[in-house]
Amino acid sequence: MNIDLSFYSWELIRSYVLSGLVFSIQLTVIATVGGIFFGTLLALMRLSGNKWLEIPAATYVNTMRSIPLVMVILWFFLLMPAILGKPIGAELSAIITFVAFEAAFFCEIMRSGIQSIPRGQIHAGQAMGMTYSQNMRLIILPQAFRNMIPVLLTQTIILFQDTSLVYAIGAYDMLKGFEVAGKNFGRPIETYLAAAVIYFLICFSLSRLVRVLQQRVAIIR
């Protein structure tokens, strides 16, 4: 089997792949920010000691973490138009699904980070007259975020890899761009090979960054 790479050009990348890469990055950033925000809220609910907050949060997190992401993507994409009575588009559907799904994983990361802070600091804040929200906002969460930076970034790398799953609903991500290029040029093997190389380079570079940050966090500790 011969693999011909001579057809690759900047024009091919710009025309077919670059717009898909932009969407993959946008989806990763939005899902990370949204996932951390809602995941932190879920973590605080799980740690609140109030069963009316703890049980719904735990149910949501455990349910999401037990279902494959591709199934959630397909369910949301197929069911929401039927509920709303109108289509919402593959890209918007992917964004909402990823934020909702990743919130469950970021919740567990943040919960572990919060629980890693010594209880004495919580008691010290209470002794100073701080409320629960002030204690969390000013003392606990900043330390938890700092401790969890490597883990949060690792989850973000996994999230970027998972963006290729939006291919299932026809969203134009980077993998879709390579697929379209392969069909138009009649070179599916070469384009999928190129996609694998690009995913590897991006994820490997980010993993090296995570390692550097992990070492710096260890020094701060």
CATH number of the domain residue 55 falls in = 1.10.3720.10
CA distance 106 to 98: 12
Please give the pLDDT value at position 94. Answer: 93
CB-neighbour burial class of residue 49 (10 A; exposed 0-12, middle 13-18, buried 19+): exposed
Please give the pLDDT value at position 217. Answer: 67
The tens digit of pLDDT for each residue in 194-203 reads 888 889 999 9
pTM of structure:
0.86
Has residue 5 been placed in a domain? no
Has residue 47 been placed in a domain? yes
Total length of the chain: 221
**Does residue 104 or residue 148 have the better pLDDT?**
104
Has residue 8 been placed in a domain? no
Residue ranges making up the domain that contains 60: 13-220
Residue 219 has pLDDT above 70, yes or no: no
CA distance 149 to 116: 13
**Mean pLDDT estimate for the chain:** 85
Please give the pLDDT value at position 8. Answer: 53
**Does residue 135 or residue 8 have the better pLDDT?**
135
Has residue 2 been placed in a domain? no
The tens digit of pLDDT for each residue in 122-138 reads 777 777 877 777 788 88
The tens digit of pLDDT for each residue in 49-79 reads 889 999 999 999 999 999 999 999 999 998 8
Find the mean pLDDT for residues 174-180.
Answer: 87
Asked if 152 contacts 39 with a C-beta cutoff of 8 angstroms, the reply is no
DSSP letters along 120-135, please?
HHHHHHHHTT--HHHH
Sign of CA dihedral 44, 46, 50, 52: positive
- Total domains, the chain: 1
Has residue 25 been placed in a domain? yes
Please give the pLDDT value at position 212. Answer: 83
Give the largest CA-CA distance in the chain. 73
